[in-house]
Structure 1
Amino acid sequence: MNTIAFSLKLFFVLSGFIFFNDSVQGSTPRNLLQKRANEQAVKEALVPREKWINYPLYADRSGWDQFLGTSKDGIVTSGESYLKYEWQVIKATDYLEFSRSGSRVIMEEPYNQNLNAISSLFLAEMAEGKGRFIDQLINGVFAACEMTSWSLSAHLSLQLKNKRFPDHNQQVIDLLGGDVGALFSWIYFFLNKEFDKADPLIAQRMKYEIKRRIFEPYMNVNHFWWMGFEIRPTRVVNNWNVWCNSNVLQSFALIEEDPDKLAKAVYKTMQSVDLFINYNKGDGACEEGPSYWGHAAGKLYDYLQILSDITGGKISIFDEPIIKNMGEYISRSYVGNGWVVNFSDASAIGGGDPALIYRFGKAVKSEEMKSFAAYLIRQQNGHLKIRGNRDIFRTLQSATYNKEMGTVTPALPSAPYTWYPQTEFCYIKNRTYFFAAKGGFNNESHNHNDVGTFALYVDTIPFFIDAGVGTYTRQTFGRERYTIWTMQSNYHNLPLINGAAQQFGAAYKSSDVSFNVASKKFSLDISKAYNNEASVKNWQRSYDLSDKGLVIEEAFDLTSLKEPTSIHFLVSAKPVINKAGVVLLEKNSRKVEFRYTKRLFNVEVDTLSLNDKRLSDVWGSEIYRIRLIAEKPQLKGKYNYTIAKVF
């Protein structure tokens, strides 16, 4: 596989995947939150915890029975499985392994198992209320408090100096550390008096660690890249921003007693989250893909809901169109039968958390999202299971709306097309086909160097695909990212022009992008996504979907001929070529013909073995790449291909 060269100006933050490049597309300074309230207004709007927390207190046994309903027994049973759990020690070498081999798993697995045990024990105790889970829960909390850092090994790059080992001199807030802070804040709120019965130092220690690991670094530094404060507005602010800020907001809202300090902290989160909203385009598309929607737009919803709750609804921007657009992206990106449009690092399998989608839809008054959530619940045997996980806020919110969700009629979005003009995503569907394509630029968050690629589903079955991303390692978010084949344009549905693939960087982008609503035709020029080695002046590609199938046309103009251009197509079904000009694909009893002009191309097929479980869980043991190689290279010309179901 080819190693793809990319900009030497690239810098990176491991796992945050924020690329610092001087020419990244700019953001619009909406500052929606700061326009609603300044710090003084925040202080005046804050309401006491007992007014905004609408969950039963620990002692309210009948309240918890009603709150959890039929989920109670399953929650208690889950907690019981951890009563004899052996708390795992995350060793020093587990942290070092990331810098040595690039493996994240060796540190993450035991840490996640401990946190799953803590959250399950906590929720089981809240459900049962007999004190049976308290001692083991204390053991788990104590074990976590003894850790030098709550951060993952892959995220120690947030440290100012040593990037490979937890530094006891500095605390950083990453995705998981923030999760732990929020989880422990809820545990402290509900159970601090129960912990005091064992020993007052236990709850005191929890509160001390939350302040030391969350409050102090958040209020005293601005250098965490995800905050957005010390990067120019033209740089990427991705899901880390709202994920971390929603956790920080929960911790302050649950723990901080000083109203001045609380107001200052809340306002700082508003300033930071505004930077995320500013970065996102008005059409609301999630450039990171549906798999990240729950961590991006979904976490924005969590943040905004908590902010609204703690201010008695006085600080809320759910009425802003961009927020609704960001919510409805998840319903529009759903193809059917569990398949979703998966540009960037997203998986092709998903759909999202139905409870989260429902709450988001309720907040922004989207009947589409609420009906879609009900549809997903119906696909899950018709009921929502409430189970403990470290995102306690979402768990509690799911229980709150569980019965209400059951009253909504399930339905999928009916729109025949969705056009995101700023992000340049285009979805078109009819009774047989679901088509998705993208323009954009090659410095989007979790980017794949894939300007102009497409996916095509037939009867909701993926035939022309994006492979997605394999298991995360150090290379995934480092300088070696584009040596990974799944990130390269030549393993997407795109041309390899004069032997050159697309390049990383904001300068490599689409142009002349258009979507004709009347004809349902999407077109763009992808030539600017390639560097000078491609010697391409213009490469106009258009997609035209009808009930008869998909027609793809390309008109190109090259400045020189170096080697034959080849057009690549990634497919999930094994190609069969019985005659020139036709490739037959068969999957799940559906047959699809891919037709090309036989006199213009020689065709070759590559089998791509999927040894990475994250890929094979989606596609099976292998996928395939069709390569149409120009038989008689020419400087200027046109190609066309058709894809249609065989009835």
Structure 2
Amino acid sequence: MWARLPAPDVADRDFWTADRVAADCRSALATADAERGTPWPQPLASHYARFFRDGDRTAYESRVAARHARLTRATLAALLDPRTDRVDEVVDGVLLLCEQSTWCWAAHDDTFDRFGRVTPTITEPYLDLGAGEVAAQLAWIDHLLGPALDERAPGVRRRIRQETRTRVLRPFTERRDWWWLGVDHPIMNWSPWIQGNVLAANLALEDDPDRRRAVSALVAEGIAAYWTSLPADGGVDEGYHYWWQGAARALEAQDLLGFAGIEPDPASLDRIRATVAFPHSMHLGGDWYVNVADGAARPLATWPWNVVHAWAVRTGDAAAAQHAASYRGLPGGLFDERASLPRAVRMLSDPAWADASDGAPPLVPSAVFPSTGVAVARSGAGETRGLAVSVKGGHNGENHNHVDVGSVIVALDGVPVVVDAGKPTYRAGTFGPDRYELWVVRGDWHNVPRVRGVEQAPGGQFGARAFEAPPAADSRPWRVRLDLAGAYPVGGLEHWWREVVLDRAAPAVTVADTWSFADAPDTHASGESDARDAAASPPDGRTAWHWLLAGDVTLTPGSAVVRFAPQGGPTSPRELTITWDPAAADAELDVRELDDPELTAVWGEHLTRLRLTARTTAPSGTFLVTMRPTGSGSLEVV
């Protein structure tokens, strides 16, 4: 029989009883056995309606994710030993999904906009990320456990096909105006994420060979369009976090297309080769990564590094392969944030990943992505000790955008200390007209200045006017220079040059802002200071520099000492000292208590903003901030 998907099914007992597979699944198996016989997670109509009533996404989505996770564990348990009670558990989970009124997440459903309803409209299924995830999970279950399902629960596979055809496969082919296909909207991570899942459902569940070929061809076109949308240098404006839900999803879809006999064209392969280098280029040390946009600095999930490893080997990127393989020996390597069955099974059944030799990550000395204006450098190649710095240029209309043109992140011994707060828990307003009222998104809580009382503005027209960065192999003092003036709606602002230098020998990071105005010093486009954050906005329109710091901060005249001891990971015994000219700026600390679980999981209970307010409104000048490990070299103000 034709193999529908590229993994051994339950009939391959040599594979599923192998010691390595059993060891990798040990934790999932123990949890599955403990769960069996207990009530399943139950998303209710009231949970779904909360998004439309009070903006809460978590009540519904967390229960959906928990249901997926349990079914994934149940499936792995049944594959290891397909006894009747384990297969029955899978059947129960499958039928619960088939009987769910919608597979769409409430935050994406158009039922309220179109019909004014807070419950799903089952006759108008919406094809979103959630629907694609259910379809793919059912497709892989059908492929993996098909014989066991036929023997134990005749009819359940027919039900899987019926529901998937109605909710996913038909909407995909009959509606070609989905915005995530690039119709009147830039292509972003939804496109490969959904289309890869559609492809899995098509290969496993579509019995008509003509329709199967047609859907595969449509997906191939869509994935090629996604690769075309990425810049040639491999940069991703959504950053490291969404690389895994965009580029990685496209790589997984490309694997399935290859299994179906459709290989990437040369142009797509060039983009693949470039983007495979992105994750390790963003690595600071340990489990810390440069985060921009809606991204966490410390991933809250374990990503499928086997995908990176396979494509790095295929494209000849030794550093990317080495970085991916460094995760091979770590525990908990099967599941992503949605407890994805496809990702778990593909990892288990990848022989090259099974044989990969784990070791130290490469920790490249620097990387530059001109397309997105992102540059990263560290004190020395192959080591976390010392300083690492990143600079973000680009513009303020990017995917999952934060107002952060010119923002700087500084890590000490691989741990970020001068930070980007990152991704908040999503709610209704996160992507609505009030997005830029969220503190975590605003410029005042990124490491950029508020110029004459004016915050950076959102929108693609507000961005860096220039971005100058050294070649990635440059070993001299590393220097990035960009003009931030275009990011500010401030009248008379001619230039705002920000120069960031990493002196590897010192070691030290310096950030020098040099500005020039053509007008009188108290004139700006907005007419008055933005009052959303009174602390960040001096009433007389003076400029304030902001530095968001993790951990505990001690302020003295002309300096701040920062010590960050993150929970659950390695920490540096050293502190970072930040210095400036105390005659040029007044310093204050604003402590931001954190109550968002996605932020506290990364940073702990609080973040602190160091606010340096200029004492004058000079039409031109330079302000310099220096950061270095406490006790290393001179701490005198330069």
The two structures share one fold, judged by TM-score above 0.5 = yes
The one-letter amino acid paired with 2:516 is D
- The equivalent residue for 1:645 is 629
CA distance in 2, matches of 1:585, 1:75: 40
Structure 1 residue 340: deviation in Å? 0.6
- The equivalent residue for 2:486 is 528
Say if 1:309 and 1:160 are closer, same or farther in 2 by CA, change over 3 A. Answer: farther
CA distance in 1, matches of 2:27, 2:551: 40
The one-letter amino acid paired with 1:279 is S
The answer on whether the counterparts of 2:111 and 2:121 sit within 8 Å (CA) in structure 1 is no
The answer on whether the counterparts of 2:22 and 2:80 sit within 8 Å (CA) in structure 1 is no
Is the deviation greater in 246-255 or in 111-120? 111-120
- Please, which of 271, 290, 306 is the counterpart of residue 256 of structure 2? 306
- The equivalent residue for 1:583 is 560
- The equivalent residue for 2:43 is 90
Is the deviation greater in 446-455 or in 552-561? 552-561
The 3-state SS of whatever aligns with 1:522 is strand
CA distance in 1, matches of 2:44, 2:336: 29
- Please, which of 241, 259, 276 is the counterpart of residue 327 of structure 1? 276
Deviations 1:290-347 (A, max 9, x none): 1212111110110111101110x64565982321221111011111121110111111
**Alignment partner of 1:226 is 2:184:** no
- Identical-pair percentage: 22
The 3-state SS of whatever aligns with 1:544 is strand
Say if 1:529 and 1:145 are closer, same or farther in 2 by CA, change over 3 A. Answer: same
CA distance in 1, matches of 2:44, 2:157: 25
Say if 1:586 and 1:198 are closer, same or farther in 2 by CA, change over 3 A. Answer: closer
Unpaired segments ≥5 residues, structure 1: 1-47
**Alignment partner of 1:478 is 2:432:** yes
- Please, which of 211, 220, 224 is the counterpart of residue 270 of structure 1? 220
Say if 1:542 and 1:272 are closer, same or farther in 2 by CA, change over 3 A. Answer: same
- The equivalent residue for 1:360 is 311
CA distance in 2, matches of 1:498, 1:606: 19
Structure 1 residue 376: deviation in Å? 2.4
Say if 1:602 and 1:57 are closer, same or farther in 2 by CA, change over 3 A. Answer: closer
The 3-state SS of whatever aligns with 2:350 is helix
- Please, which of 253, 275, 281 is the counterpart of residue 203 of structure 2? 253
The one-letter amino acid paired with 1:417 is S
Deviations 1:415-472 (A, max 9, x none): 3210111111101111411110111011111110101101001111212110112211
The answer on whether the counterparts of 1:566 and 1:630 sit within 8 Å (CA) in structure 2 is yes
The one-letter amino acid paired with 1:208 is Q
**Alignment partner of 1:118 is 2:84:** no
The answer on whether the counterparts of 1:138 and 1:195 sit within 8 Å (CA) in structure 2 is yes
What does residue range 464-543 of structure 1 map to in structure 2 within 5 Å?
464-517=418-471, 518=474, 519=476, 520-532=478-490, 535-543=492-500
- The equivalent residue for 1:552 is 511
The answer on whether the counterparts of 2:377 and 2:388 sit within 8 Å (CA) in structure 1 is yes
Structure 1 residue 80: deviation in Å? 1.4
CA distance in 2, matches of 1:195, 1:79: 18
The answer on whether the counterparts of 1:159 and 1:172 sit within 8 Å (CA) in structure 2 is no
CA distance in 1, matches of 2:205, 2:459: 42
Structure 1 residue 611: deviation in Å? 1.4
What does residue range 598-613 of structure 1 map to in structure 2 within 5 Å?
598-613=582-597
Say if 1:153 and 1:388 are closer, same or farther in 2 by CA, change over 3 A. Answer: closer
- Please, which of 528, 533, 549 is the counterpart of residue 571 of structure 1? 549
RMSD: 2.3
> Which consecutive segments of 4 or more residues in structure 1 shift more than 6 A?
386-389
- Please, which of 179, 186, 191 is the counterpart of residue 236 of structure 1? 186
The 3-state SS of whatever aligns with 1:81 is helix
CA distance in 1, matches of 2:159, 2:307: 32
The 3-state SS of whatever aligns with 2:555 is strand
- The equivalent residue for 2:531 is none
Deviations 1:347-403 (A, max 9, x none): 11138433233223233232212211222234x26x856899753222122112367
Is the deviation greater in 85-94 or in 478-487? 85-94
The answer on whether the counterparts of 2:558 and 2:581 sit within 8 Å (CA) in structure 1 is yes
The one-letter amino acid paired with 2:512 is E
Deviations 1:68-115 (A, max 9, x none): 243354443332123213134432221111011110111112222222
What does residue range 39-118 of structure 1 map to in structure 2 within 5 Å?
49-50=2-3, 53-66=5-18, 68-118=21-71
The 3-state SS of whatever aligns with 1:109 is helix
Say if 1:384 and 1:317 are closer, same or farther in 2 by CA, change over 3 A. Answer: farther
**Alignment partner of 1:179 is 2:137:** no
The one-letter amino acid paired with 1:243 is W
Deviations 1:165-220 (A, max 9, x none): 31122111111210110111122223344333345332211110011111110000
The answer on whether the counterparts of 1:442 and 1:451 sit within 8 Å (CA) in structure 2 is yes
**Alignment partner of 1:343 is 2:295:** no
- The equivalent residue for 1:622 is 606
TM-score (norm 2): 0.87
- Please, which of 277, 281, 286 is the counterpart of residue 236 of structure 2? 286
Structure 1 residue 250: deviation in Å? 0.6
Say if 1:592 and 1:389 are closer, same or farther in 2 by CA, change over 3 A. Answer: closer
Say if 1:277 and 1:160 are closer, same or farther in 2 by CA, change over 3 A. Answer: farther
Deviations 1:5-30 (A, max 9, x none): xxxxxxxxxxxxxxxxxxxxxxxxxx
The one-letter amino acid paired with 2:251 is Y
- The equivalent residue for 1:42 is none
CA distance in 2, matches of 1:515, 1:73: 47
CA distance in 2, matches of 1:584, 1:195: 62
Report how many aligned residue pairs link the two structures: 590
**Alignment partner of 1:597 is 2:557:** no
TM-score (norm 1): 0.86
CA distance in 2, matches of 1:210, 1:283: 37
The 3-state SS of whatever aligns with 1:363 is helix
- The equivalent residue for 1:460 is 414
CA distance in 1, matches of 2:363, 2:157: 51
Say if 1:415 and 1:221 are closer, same or farther in 2 by CA, change over 3 A. Answer: same
CA distance in 1, matches of 2:337, 2:54: 33
The one-letter amino acid paired with 1:147 is Q
CA distance in 1, matches of 2:88, 2:363: 52
CA distance in 2, matches of 1:203, 1:320: 36
CA distance in 2, matches of 1:389, 1:574: 33
Say if 1:267 and 1:319 are closer, same or farther in 2 by CA, change over 3 A. Answer: closer
The 3-state SS of whatever aligns with 1:346 is coil
CA distance in 1, matches of 2:496, 2:190: 35
The answer on whether the counterparts of 1:485 and 1:491 sit within 8 Å (CA) in structure 2 is yes
Say if 1:352 and 1:59 are closer, same or farther in 2 by CA, change over 3 A. Answer: closer
Is the deviation greater in 109-118 or in 465-474? 109-118
